[in-house]
A = this chain, B = another copy of it.
Amino acid sequence: MSPAPEDVTPERLRTIPSRLLAGAAAAGDRLVNERLAAEGARKWHFAVLVALAETGPASQSELSRRTGVYRSDMVAVLNELAEGGYLVRDPDPVDRRRNVITLTPAGRDRLRQLDALVTTAQQDLLAPLSPAERAELTRLLTLLDTRHRPPHEGGHA
């Protein structure tokens, strides 16, 4: 026990890293969401489109692992994207438990559109920082993220 009577630092709340992180993350989410919402999209839509564009057609559970969206919630996201004609969901002939999700040309266009919005949102978010500071922040956050990863999804390509 360390019995310090008046131990509370002034401005204590503003110095707690997890609170600072939460605040900055909220600001980033707000920026991204309001821009995507203007086009009727949410960040998950973007994440799924990126994942599909990066490595081609994939199953839902693979998309779930790569984007961080839960398989339960992935269903609705894919429904919405399919309604917009941005992707198609076909049963996998080689494994009939799975669906094969494939990006359509419209989906590629949509991705380019949303990507532009997300990119400018990032610039606005990081506007208070110099280029060197942005790079350093990104580096530090990547360190934290890779170190504090949820259990599964380890190594393979």
For the complex formed by this chain, how many copies does it contain in all?
A: 2
Contact call A18/B121, Cβ cutoff below 8 A: yes
Closest chain-B Cβ to A30's Cβ sits at a distance in Å of: 8
Contact call B25/A22, Cβ cutoff below 8 A: yes
Contact call A142/B28, Cβ cutoff below 8 A: no
Select A118's contact among B7, B14, B16, B143, beta carbons within 8 Å.
B16
Q: Which residue of chain B has the shortest Cβ distance to A124 in the bound complex?
A: B148
Contact call A20/B145, Cβ cutoff below 8 A: yes
Is A71 at the interface (CB under 8 A from chain B)?
no
Is A53 at the interface (CB under 8 A from chain B)?
yes
Q: List 10 A-B contacts (CB under 8 A).
A: A13-B50, A15-B138, A18-B28, A18-B31, A19-B47, A21-B141, A22-B28, A125-B148, A126-B144, A136-B140
